[in-house]
Each structure stands twice: as C-alpha cells, then as structure tokens.
Structure 1
Amino acid sequence: MPVVALLSVAVLFTGGCSGTQDTSLSGDPSESATAASWSPSPSPTPSLTPPYPTGASGCHDNKGWTAQESRDWVGLVVNTPKENYEDDQVQVVSLPGYNGPLCRKITVQVEFWKLVYGVADGVGGERLSDGTKPVYYFDIRRVKRVELRTDASDERKIDLPKSLYASDRSACEGALLSITVGKPLTSKELPEEIEVGGDESRWDSAPVDFRSKRVADYELFQPSAPRVCSPDGKPTADPADVPTPGSQPTDLYPTPDTSFDIDDVLRSPTP
C-alpha cells in the first residue's frame, strides 16, 4: 500500500511540471485532470419546508382544522391595505405551497366600519384643554361587508369604500377594517375602546381589542384630528389652530427658579 500511494503522488507531480498528462498509467485521461483540479464540494443547502405543502391531490388537507388554525391561515393569505405596496385594496394572495391551496374552502368576512369620534365634556361641560390627552368616545357602524369562500387557489381583490377613505372626509371620521373567520361580527364582538390621537400617521398600528377570537387581522385608519371634534362628532375648529395633545407643556404652574450665584451672595453687604 505505501508504494501505490507514493506512485500516485509522483504521477500528479510530474504532470504538473511537464504541462502534459501521462495516460500510460491511467485508462481515462479525464481521471488525472479531475484529480488535479479537485476542490471540496459545497455543503448542500437545506430546502425550506413550505408551511402549507400540497399533497398528491394538489391541495393542502385542512380537514379537522381547529378555529385557531383556520384563523392563522386566513391572517396569512389576506393582505390589508397597509401590507400592499402598490394599491389600497384587500387582497387574497395565491402562492401555492406557501398558503395552500386548501382542499376545503374557508368562509371569510371582510368588513369595513365607520368610526366617528368626539371629545367628552369635562366637569361643568368644559372641554379638556390643558394640553393633556382628551377623553375620546366613538360611534361605530358597518359600511361594507364582503363574504369570501376561499381556498387560495386564485387571487381576489376587494376595493375599499371610497367615501370611507376619502382624503376630504371629516377630521372626526376614521375607518376600521376587520378580517374574520366564519360569520359576520356581532355588536357584542366589536371593540369597546379604540385609542386614537397619539400618532397622526395615516395607518395606525395601535392594538384594537376585539371581543372575539375569530378576528384574523384588522387595520385602523384613524381620524385626522379627533382633538377638534365636539361631543357629537363635528369639527369645531381648524386642526391647524389646535395643537396635538401632548405637544404642549402639561405643567401649568412651573416651579420658580430658586438657583443663585454664590459670588453674588459673597459680594452682598453684611446687614
């Protein structure tokens, strides 16, 4: 065995120096060339397992899914306007293997709600105007509902209600979009409070506490200036004339400056 190993090294070394290959010791010239240019093979890259792989029938079997599993899937396939970079629509995205398609369709409710905000009166009917955050309340009503029976075998697009998302809508009006599995939301499942006014951005990511576990996704389009709204949800001033809550100092009685210069004390005459 040592002799064979030494001979192999000598053949490779000679071929490298002469620039020609000696095929007398090798039945196939390609073997010497392959051996001389050998390099380690790259490590295989593991392929990602799709979350909803399709079976032999071309669909993902969702028989026996729990409500949580259905809700998770719906939250994955339905994209809200904030998640769409090209246009303002609700979209059902079709990506085979990534979201199915499913073997059994799931019922999905896409509901648009109009929010009208007002500022609660303070003590004696005076509105809160000390720079702190006002107390808001709101009225909510459904504007549009679209029911889907979907398995993500194809893409669907749902347009937003134009009046609800119009740029010239009242400063007291906002919108709430809900994506729900199964039947439409009832009044008992709607949120009791929706916080607004902190961030003046168009789409707000503040949490909305629905009283239902069937909501797969939602999106809040908050009113542009609820701080100027009367208790009945009507603008009472130009938003430019009313500062955003929290932007003004809240300390109405600042502590007087009691600092002093020690040199002034030393220079003062002794009584």
Structure 2
Amino acid sequence: MSTASEPAWREANRAMWDERVPIHAASAFYDHDAFLAGKDTVAGFQADEVGDVTGKRLVHLQCHMGQDTLSWARRGAARVVGLDFSAPAVEVARGLAGKLGYAAEQAAFVAADVYDARTALGGETFDVVYTGIGALCWLPDIERWAEVVASLVAPGGFLYLAEFHPLANVLDWGTGTRFERDYLSREPVVLDEPGTYVDFAAETEHNLSHEWNHAIGAVVSALAANGLRIEFLHEFDWTLFQHFGTLERDGGAFRQPEGTPRAPLMYSLKASRA
C-alpha cells in the first residue's frame, strides 16, 4: 500500500505496475495456462549458471507474478519465496502456487518493497538469492540494494543476477551504435507512456515511471563492499527482445547482424558468501 510519506517515484512506479498486472495475467506473453500445464519460464542459461537447486531455499526478489519463482520450485528447490512491491502481482502469484498445489511452506509470496526485504522476510536467509531480468532498473540506490541482498544470503549461499546490460540501456534504440544517454548518471529516466510490453496498445491510466541505469562497476563494487565474493561476471552479445531496430532473431535470442560491431546486451553474475 502506498502512503503519503512514500517517495513520489515509488508511488508512481507501484501504480504503474499494479494497473498492468491484470493485463499481464491475461496475456499470451505470460500464458498462465501453459505455465500451469508445465511450462518452465527460467531461461536456459540461468538454469545452467545457477546449477542444481534441489533441496535449497531460494528467494526471488522483484518476482512480479511469480512464474520464475515457481519454476525454481519445480526444479527441486525445497522452499521458494517471492517478494514484490505490487500487491496485485503477489495475489496472482499466490493463486498460481495454489493451483499448482504448493503449500505456503513450499512456496510463499510476500508483498513488500525490496529495500524492506530483510524485515518483511523475518530475518530468514537463503541458499540462493535470485533476481530476474529487468529488475534493477526500478531501484534508485544500488548500494542499499546490495546491502539488503547480502543480508539475505546464508553462509555458503550465493546471489545470482541476470540483467540487461547497462551499456545497452544507453545506446540509441534505432541502431545500438550511438550513445544517447549517460552511462554513469545517477538520475532517473522518467517516462510517461501508455501500454505495456505485453500489449503496447493497451489503454492505461497510470503511465508515469522512473528507471535507473546501474553501471557494471557500481553493481560489482556494491556487492563486494557487503562481503560477497564475485564468482563470475559474464557479458553476452545477445538479448531476449528487440532492444534495437537492427537486432536480428537468432533462435530465442536477438543479436546484431553478422559483421557489425558487437556490444554487450546482457550480463550475469554470481556472488557468494563464505
């Protein structure tokens, strides 16, 4: 629930996401029928890099409607917890968990801001702290995020992060060859656009949003400063959607045409606690 004291950016972002939840839940993009029938929504490279989660406790921060969270449960996690600041999204996630037959001890969903996760989760720690693609851009303070994340990682556990590359976020959306935004800026990109990525023509009322770009160095340094050891940092020359007009589909990915300069479009990292 938003309050009068809530920062304007968070209130606007929450209103934007809350309104889009029913659109997403009914969309072919998320295809809840296929998911309930067994579809796994965790990208293959993520499953490979995270490894076997059998018997592990996993928390998914900024989980939206919980499909990835529940996919990890299907992959053998003993307990999964999804957290999102959108109460309508959390209600959809709980509904999916119920339809799949998971008890609350196996799959729980919590409505809370990611910065409040430590308190909202009652101090619980996890073997795997997972954050899905397209999450970090909604947070203004990466240092505070890293502090929260580190507090959730149990001894011997790790954070796994997969994200759109911050360099790709500042290149022009037409060709991906020119800088159009400031890579190192801490100021938000403020947009006021109707629709949503599952239906650009959807009629929506709450269209104001605030997003931030976090440089790779800022992310890695923040995690290291909070006692996590970087196990790997991988950069990929492909992405999962038509980020630039020049990208060409290659199976389930999109890449720059053969012979053109390549830039990193996505990245992943693993950071562990001893």
Q: Into which bin does the TM-score normalised by the smaller protein fall?
A: under 0.3
Q: Which has the larger radius of gyration?
A: 1
TM-score, reference length from structure 2: 0.22
